[in-house]
Amino acid sequence: MELLAYVNGEFLPESDAKVSVFDHGLLYGDGIFEGIRAYNGRVFRLDDHLRRLFDSAKAIHMEIPHSVDEMRDLILELCRRNEIEDGYIRPVVTRGKGDLGLDPRKVKGGPTVVIIARPFEVLYGDKYEEGLELITSTYRRVPSQSVSPNIKSLNYLNQILARVEANIHDADEALLLDIQGYVSEASADNFFVVRDEILTTPPTVSILQGVTRQTVLEIAVELGYKARERFFTLYDVYGADEAFITGTAAEIAPVVRVDDRVVGDGKPGRITKQITARYRDLVRSTGTPIYEKA
């Protein structure tokens, strides 16, 4: 059975799901998106993702042509039609079909809304047991004075260039610094270090407000660990007892080497494992039901 995708009011076979070559999401990256996960017939933190989607739309002065409730219903309906139990969901909203000029006033007919929902299991395979290797990118994260990192936009070229560097160095991910030289985030994930049983992650002024990141902060407190948001440098990364990345697709992935320096003892850390275990329990037991049986 071919999977379906939602495009501007229609549920279409993926092979027929198309947008115009004049869509400003394609031409200029003028749009927003979310990455959402479903586990065991439930969509994890769906309302948090929808809130961020609508906040991003407001920030770029774009009105989504559906209410929050309508978007929730469309996502769940697509999941049902695609028989999703464990999957990845991608709602995308672009400025819409326009002209070759970048002026948003050239768009006629309103935004384009696309939703994709596909089966998905794990991103890094055995790396969750072995740990990831990161390199620090030579590219700096776009500063908040230029574009807020909390707008989850379609323009990921900054992060893609960092990921290209990781690929060149045969690393699993790239770590970006902000314009002042503080640690920001990975190319597609938030970043944590652990030292003396204290979790530290950069403040959201220079990073995306990750839904998984927020979940980890809550889990850390639940497990009795101190968690804080503050600026730190590569010096703190190299001297960390543990490190890990967080993201919707990546979930929680341990980091054991950064810039050819071993983190801790070179193995996934004890606290990272505890948080990961609690996270896996949480995502498989909570969330918005897709089906009545969930």
- In the three-class reduction of DSSP (H, G, I as helix; E, B as strand; rest coil), residue 71 is classed as helix
**Cα–Cα distance, 287 to 294 (Å, whole number):** 9
Per the rule left: phi > 0, alpha: psi between -120 and 50, beta: everything else, 94 is: beta
| 282: enclosing H helix or E strand | helix 270-283
Q: Which of 169, 161, 110 is nearest to 135 (CA)?
A: 169
152 is catalytic: yes
State which amino acid sits at residue 180.
Q
Pair of tokens at residue 148: 């807020």
Around Cβ 125, how many Cβ atoms within 10 Å? 9
Max alpha carbon distance in the chain (Å)? 57
Q: Enumerate residues 6+ apart whose C-beta is below 8 A from 43.
A: 36, 37, 75, 76, 79, 89, 287, 288, 290
What is the DSSP annotation of 139-189?
Answer: EEPPPTTTS-TTS-BS--HHHHHHHHHHHHTT-SEEEEE-TTS-EEEESSS
User: One of 108, 152, 226, 273 is an active-site residue; which one?
Assistant: 152
| 278: enclosing H helix or E strand | helix 270-283
**Cα–Cα distance, 243 to 264 (Å, whole number):** 8
Tell me the catalytic residues: 152
